[in-house]
Structure 1
Amino acid sequence: MKVLVIEDNRQLADSICNFLQGEGYVYERAHDVKTAEDKLLMFSYDCILLDLMLPDGSGFDILDFIKNKQISSGLLIISARDALDDKINGLENGADDYLTKPFHLSELNARLKAIYRRKKLEGTDTIIFNDISLDTDRMEVLVNDTPLDVTRKEYDLLLYFLINKNRVLSRQAIATHLWGDYTDNLANFDFVYQHVKNLRKKISAARGADYIETVYGVGYKFNANKV
Structure 2
Amino acid sequence: MNLLIVEDEPELSHSIATYLLQNKFTCDTALDFPSANSKISSGEYSCIILDLNLPGGSGLELLRRLKKINKTEGVLIISAKNSLDDKIEGLELGADDYLTKPFHLAELSARVNAIIRRKSFDGNNTVVLDKLIINIADKNVMTENGIIELTRKEYELLLYFASNKNRVLTKESIIDHLWGNHANMSDTYDIIYSHIKNLRKKLMESGCPDYIKAVYGMGYKFTIA
TM-score normalised by structure 2 residue count: 0.95
Structure 2 contact 49–77 (Cα < 8 Å) conserved? yes
CA separation in 1, counterparts of 2:48 and 2:7?
10
Name 2:94's counterpart in structure 1.
Answer: 94
The amino acid of 1:203's aligned partner reads L
The amino acid of 1:168's aligned partner reads V
CA separation in 2, counterparts of 1:152 and 1:197?
15
Name 1:83's counterpart in structure 2.
Answer: 83
The amino acid of 2:84's aligned partner reads L
* Stretches of structure 2 lacking an aligned partner (at least 5 in a row): none
Name 2:72's counterpart in structure 1.
Answer: 72
The amino acid of 1:83's aligned partner reads S
Structure 1 contact 144–208 (Cα < 8 Å) conserved? no
Structure 2 contact 6–36 (Cα < 8 Å) conserved? yes
After superposition, the C-alpha distances for 1:64-90 in whole angstroms (9 at most, x for unaligned) are 101111110000100011111111111
The SS at the match of 1:70 is coil
Name 2:197's counterpart in structure 1.
Answer: 197
Name 1:164's counterpart in structure 2.
Answer: 164
CA separation in 1, counterparts of 2:184 and 2:44?
12
The amino acid of 1:180's aligned partner reads G
CA separation in 2, counterparts of 1:124 and 1:206?
24
Identity of aligned residues (%): 46
- The within-5 A match list for 1:183-194 is 183-194=183-194
- The within-5 A match list for 1:166-185 is 166-185=166-185
The SS at the match of 2:24 is coil
> In terms of mean alpha carbon deviation, does 180-189 or 64-73 score higher?
180-189
CA separation in 1, counterparts of 2:189 and 2:113?
29
> In terms of mean alpha carbon deviation, does 31-40 or 193-202 score higher?
31-40
CA drift of 1:188 comes to: 4.8
CA separation in 2, counterparts of 1:144 and 1:19?
32
The amino acid of 2:83's aligned partner reads A
CA separation in 2, counterparts of 1:25 and 1:164?
18
CA separation in 2, counterparts of 1:11 and 1:106?
17
CA separation in 1, counterparts of 2:109 and 2:57?
27
CA drift of 1:105 comes to: 0.5
* Stretches of structure 1 lacking an aligned partner (at least 5 in a row): none
CA separation in 1, counterparts of 2:104 and 2:146?
36
After superposition, the C-alpha distances for 1:162-187 in whole angstroms (9 at most, x for unaligned) are 10111111222212211332215434
The amino acid of 1:182's aligned partner reads H
CA separation in 2, counterparts of 1:161 and 1:183?
19
CA separation in 2, counterparts of 1:137 and 1:176?
23
The amino acid of 1:43's aligned partner reads G
The SS at the match of 2:183 is helix
CA drift of 1:50 comes to: 0.7
